[in-house]
Structure 1
Amino acid sequence: MQAISDRINIDSRQVLLNIGYCNDCKPSARIAPLVNEYIEHAGNLIEPSYSGVIRDIKSVKGSRIVIEGSVTFQSKVIAQIMEQCEKVAVFLLTIGTHLEETVRQMANDGLILQATVLDAIGSVAAEAVADFVQRRVGEVARAQGLCISLRFSPGYCDWGLCQQKLVFEAVGGDSAGIHLTEDCLMLPGKSVSGIIGIGPCNNVENYNPCKTCPKYDCPSRREV
């Protein structure tokens, strides 16, 4: 497990989107300062850490992606990009339990608005940590003259949530303090798991499955 000492930047606009504001909506006079205040102090509640490994891709056939260590992921969408890759980075990351515990206490005390805002900040912070990890993987790839794909997580595209178990298996015993429930949900809840393909730049940089996905209302849809 590696702790992250870098400051995690939290985008206030993304926090507002997470609590239900549209891109063009102006937050109320009460919400805007509350979001900014909580973002300013969120660093005291966030303990980001991650673990990860880079494995060779052994074979890709149909929807099956076999990586070093005999772990087999299954996703037709992701197989299309992994076919073009030489290696795959497998990662787990979390912002820790402190923020979630604070959200729970606020809700128990009847501070529902404050709890909602802080919970949204936690979600944005977890994605910001994922961005940090992705940049680190990119640095490793560039040092080898390679590039990275977008990151993919179980439960998105056609990659089943049950495959979460294989992500944990692939990283070995270092799960960054994250536990997996029988339902394949991660604890702490503000955690992210996934994979990133590594391969020749012309092949992997521009692949975006959202371009051909008909689910236009998907909240995780990437810009196309």
Structure 2
Amino acid sequence: MRDPRPRTIEDVETPLSRSEVRRYLGYPGDVAPQHQVDELLEHWMQEAVRCARPRAIYMVLPVATLDQHRVCLQTPAGIRELRGSVGKFLAGSRYVAAFIATAGSEIDRLAGDLGRSGKALEAMVVAAVGAERAEAAEYAVIEQLNERAEPGGLATTLPYSPGYCGMVLTEQTGLFALFGDDTVGVTLSSECVMTPLRSVSGLIGIGPSHEIEDQARPCDRCELVGCNMRR
């Protein structure tokens, strides 16, 4: 796990999760759309998948220090600090993988074109597919990390992203700085908003499996019990 060089994932083979797309659209897990609506959803899901280009980049860095509110990472350029509720979400980590994942810019363009032409529902479906595809790229990172970690008795935490659970959105700046210009086409505005919009970034802790498992799921200790991102 000691190689700090960025690794890029260009081919995301995870098939589209239609149930996840419906969740993004607000459908409870036990509720199916009406037939006519379901046909529309299926059509635009397929269109969105055709233009999506999910990909990701990540790097694994040793942890220099880790306390309740900050993690300091050893990088080739020196120590870099990121702040948040890291003691809760990355506890037990000896390494941290920083990542950026995206569904690509074409899916943003399609959703925007549909919205401007008055097709609000269609635009929402495409945007939901984009969110799911970005999540699939994130999952591809987790799969690669687990393949590298498990032979050494290590395990991974859940992803922890700026803007959630005690890490302010402006921490995006420090996270993106780790990658320089190599961000798989994702850019960051002065307000720390990512473009393409269907993108996600974050940190994944890696540590001895018994210590990571002892922490259970950080979501179990989060006070936002109604959060639709709870895992």
* Contact 1:148–1:196 (Cα < 8 Å) also in 2: yes
> Where in structure 2 are the equivalents of 1:12-27 lying within 5 Å?
12-27=18-33
Q: Which residue, out of 157, 178, 187, partners 2:186? A: 178
Instruction: Give the AA of the match of 1:126.
Output: A
Cα gap change, 1:55 to 1:152, in 2 (>3 Å): same
- State the match for 1:215 in structure 2: 224
Cα gap change, 1:116 to 1:81, in 2 (>3 Å): closer
Cα gap change, 1:174 to 1:23, in 2 (>3 Å): same
Q: Which residue, out of 52, 65, 75, partners 2:84? A: 75
Instruction: Give the AA of the match of 2:184.
Output: A
- State the match for 2:4 in structure 1: none
1:188: how far off?
0.5
Structure 1 window deviating more from structure 2 (102-111 vs 39-48): it is: 39-48
Deviations 1:130-189 (A, max 9, x none): 111111111111233311111111111111111011111123331111110011110010
- State the match for 1:58 in structure 2: 64
Deviations 1:57-103 (A, max 9, x none): 00113412111131111123x22353411111111111111011011
Q: Which residue, out of 108, 113, 116, partners 2:116? A: 108
1:52: how far off?
1.2
Distance in 2, matches of 1:75 and 1:200, equals 22
CA RMSD of aligned residues (A): 1.7
- State the match for 2:97 in structure 1: 89
SS in 2 for 1:182: coil
Does 2:13 match 1:4? no
SS in 2 for 1:152: coil
Distance in 2, matches of 1:50 and 1:6, equals 9
Residue segments in structure 1 that go unaligned for 5+ positions in a row: none
Deviations 1:93-127 (A, max 9, x none): 11111011011111111111211111111111111
- State the match for 1:117 in structure 2: 125
Distance in 2, matches of 1:117 and 1:6, equals 20
* Contact 1:81–1:204 (Cα < 8 Å) also in 2: no
Identity among equivalent positions (%) equals 27
SS in 1 for 2:224: coil
Cα gap change, 1:173 to 1:37, in 2 (>3 Å): same
* Contact 1:126–1:191 (Cα < 8 Å) also in 2: yes
Structure 2-normalised TM-score? 0.89
SS in 1 for 2:35: coil
- State the match for 1:43 in structure 2: 49
Distance in 2, matches of 1:39 and 1:143, equals 37
1:198: how far off?
0.7
Does 2:166 match 1:158? yes
- State the match for 2:40 in structure 1: 34
Instruction: Give the AA of the match of 1:195.
Output: L
1:190: how far off?
0.6
Does 2:212 match 1:204? yes
Does 2:149 match 1:141? yes
1:3: how far off?
4.7
Instruction: Give the AA of the match of 2:160.
Output: F
* Contact 1:162–1:184 (Cα < 8 Å) also in 2: yes
Distance in 2, matches of 1:210 and 1:32, equals 32
